[in-house]
Structure 1
Amino acid sequence: MKFEVEAFGVKDYLPASLDPLIKDKDLQTGVSFASGGSGFDPLTTAETSAIPMSVQLDMFKQHILKLKRNIKEEAADNIIDNSVAVIVAGNNDLFLSLPNRRLQYDVPSYANMIVNLVLNFIQEIYKLGVRRIAVFSAPPIGCLPVVRTLDGGPHRKCADKENNAAQLFNSFLTQQVQLWATSYPQSRVGVIDYYNPLISIIENPHKYGFDVADRGCCGTGEIEVLFLCNKLTPTCPNDSKYFFWDGFHLTEKGNSIILYHILQDLLNSLF
């Protein structure tokens, strides 16, 4: 969320709500409740030990109470009413939990189940007073370096199965969010297309100043993720030439270019 808050001119950095050094004034300009590895499917957070989405929602409720204690309730309500909630989740559900849910769900029914959980989450945020909500679609999961390695064959091509699941999820998500929004005309709720900007860069990396878009900068670039990228792991000589930092996440340059492409989508959806 660093690039998003900078783009909106709010502040340079969005602090974590659990940061022990967080200041009261930070509560008035926004904090992050995100937890890396989280998802809407309870199985996802059970596998990653991330903070569940339901707990993140409770953290937001506590945030509102703190805000009302620090400033007048009317001023706090005004901040919430004019705030923007950005939801970036669901990727880990499709990547981690879907393969383990195969006996219970096929891909369409699982995607529909996750979309319903997203709608429930949006509804809860709306009830707390937020009127501008942006939901990021799933990226082309089959093109993530780690998925190419695991499911892309000997030439590490983008895996069609994962990309098709992401596209189906995005289609359901867009349809259902638009339908939900018709019942709440005073809200501005939109799905931010995260899939197509990424696939465009992955398929045409040199056009965007990258040399490598099928491997990460960290280690071999094919499988390492998160803690496997550490001071003992060799990295590429110039990460600005890589779209991915590790097997799952973008480099700083990658994130900044993606934001440039989705910023107009964000503005159109929320304002």
Structure 2
Amino acid sequence: MPINLVFLLLLCSLTTSTIFNTSRALQFPQELFDFSRDFVPINSPSMSPSSSSYYNIVSISPSPSPASSAPLVPAFFVLGDSSVDCGTNNFLGTFARADRLPYGRDFDTHEPTGRFCNGRIPVDYLALYLGLPFVPSYLGQTGSVKDMIQGVNYASAAAGIIFSSGSELGQRISFTQQIQQLTDTYQQFILEMGEESAANLISESVFYISIGVNDYIHYYLSNESNVQNMYLPWNFNQFLASTVSQEIKNLYNISVRKVVLMGLPPIGCAPHYLWKYNRGNGECVEEINDMIMEFNYVMRYTVYELREDFPDLNIIFCDMYEGSMDIIKNYELYGFNVTTDACCGLGKFKGWIMCMSPDMACDNASNHIWWDQFHPTDAVNAILADNVWNSLHTKMCYPMNLKDMVAPPK
């Protein structure tokens, strides 16, 4: 193997490792408010327009309503991390990029789009269920109101609730920065259509939030700033939940009224941790999954509190752990036969290094649960989207699913 390639593989391994133990002088609470490092402009979308075309993928789920039908809501806005990033990180200086094949090989264009998947991510399926086109990346469109009127995707791979989560991978747009980008978009709407019309559009639209996994992968589990000695998982989860709660209140203040808050998936079953913890038989790392279940419990209760405090806030919590474990435990019923190994990667379970070239990928991703060391395949995303929409396979969302949320009042 050429020395250059060996060096590249080692470099990527180091930068994507979840055990990144460099000590920092900043203590945990102070670090959250340090917005100076790796700052990314939050109001400067690229002038390169993004595509919002559609395609047909054979999956076990029924075909959503075509996007040409009357939309159920005016727009669909997305905030989060690599689970829903549709191209934001293509415009950033970061190792967390999915702008090369085989990422996107099963997408409509069969080209990489910035999605961390072989094909669609969950919000693509949900957009079609809502009767809307795929949502463009905030940094991947011109910034005109016309481009953003049906929704915008602000999600950024490696982003977390904590500002510094994922910083070792390079630039990323944190959850707080994404909220600011959304606020800027709202101000543009007000200037273009007036305050009342803008508020009506925002209040009738759906806002999807999928954030928090990097606060474990790139912060707590890697023990950044010695966080594990200061916070037990329960206290850490409460801190994350309180931060998310405050950001949702900030969204409420700009007229947001329909929110889908996603829980975290069972990352203790991800190929990277199977490799790292040397799980010979592929059994999940329970100590990690226990933390994730605890996080989801706290977030579900947070949603309950928000609904109590703001009766006109229609917010639901969707437990990704429940939905994902149902797939893992009943994989044969869903048509999967590879449950531990990623389709693309290197090392045992293909969990050592992320997917970097087409030669590292399997031929057929549809029978795999995992696409790369952390992310599921398009087939899994389709199932999870079905559950968020109408609980087709198993109940994930509380107190209702998305279809019930957007249904016209009787």
CA RMSD of aligned residues (A): 1.8
Following superposition, the deviation at residue 142 of structure 1 comes to 0.7
Structure of higher RCO (CA pairs closer than 8 Å, 6+ residues apart): 2
Unaligned ranges ≥5, structure 2: 1-122, 391-400
Following superposition, the deviation at residue 23 of structure 1 comes to 5.0
Q: What is the aligned partner in structure 1 of residue 73 from structure 2?
A: none
Following superposition, the deviation at residue 262 of structure 1 comes to 2.2
Q: Is the 8 A contact 1:40 1:114 kept in 2?
A: yes
Matched, 1:73 2:195: yes
| Aligned partner (choices 213, 223, 242) of residue 351 of structure 2 | 223
Q: What is the aligned partner in structure 2 of residue 245 from structure 1?
A: 371
Q: Is the 8 A contact 1:145 1:247 kept in 2?
A: yes
Unaligned ranges ≥5, structure 1: none
The alignment's TM-score, normalised by the length of structure 2, stands at 0.62
Q: What is the aligned partner in structure 1 of residue 139 from structure 2?
A: 18
| Number of equivalent positions | 268
| Aligned partner (choices 110, 120, 130) of residue 246 of structure 2 | 120
SS at match of 1:206: coil
d(CA) in 2 for partners of 1:44, 1:259:
26
SS at match of 2:369: strand
Matched, 1:8 2:136: no
Deviations along 1:160-218, whole A, 9 cap, x unmatched? 01110011111111112201210110110111121111001112211101111211110
Matched, 1:263 2:408: no
Following superposition, the deviation at residue 95 of structure 1 comes to 2.3
Q: Is the 8 A contact 1:133 1:270 kept in 2?
A: no
Q: What residue identity is the alignment partner of 1:236? A: C
Following superposition, the deviation at residue 105 of structure 1 comes to 0.6
1:119-268 mapped onto 2 (5 Å cutoff):
119-151=245-277, 153-220=279-346, 221-223=349-351, 228-231=354-357, 233-264=359-390, 265-268=401-404
Deviations along 1:11-44, whole A, 9 cap, x unmatched? 1x11011114465323211001111111112231
Q: Is the 8 A contact 2:238 2:298 kept in 1?
A: yes
SS at match of 1:133: strand
SS at match of 1:213: strand
Q: What residue identity is the alignment partner of 1:262? A: V
Cα distance change, pair 103–234 in 1 and its aligned pair in 2 (3 A): same
Identity across matched positions, percent: 25
Cα distance change, pair 219–176 in 1 and its aligned pair in 2 (3 A): closer
Matched, 1:105 2:227: no
| Aligned partner (choices 55, 78, 91) of residue 177 of structure 2 | 55
Q: Select the structure that is richer in helix.
A: 1
Deviations along 1:243-266, whole A, 9 cap, x unmatched? 211011111122112111221222
d(CA) in 2 for partners of 1:109, 1:74:
41
Cα distance change, pair 268–28 in 1 and its aligned pair in 2 (3 A): same
d(CA) in 1 for partners of 2:166, 2:374:
17
d(CA) in 2 for partners of 1:168, 1:104:
18
SS at match of 1:43: coil
SS at match of 2:307: helix
Q: Is the 8 A contact 2:338 2:369 kept in 1?
A: yes
Following superposition, the deviation at residue 224 of structure 1 comes to 5.1
Bigger Cα Rg = 2
Cα distance change, pair 47–219 in 1 and its aligned pair in 2 (3 A): closer
Q: What is the aligned partner in structure 2 of residue 92 from structure 1?
A: 214
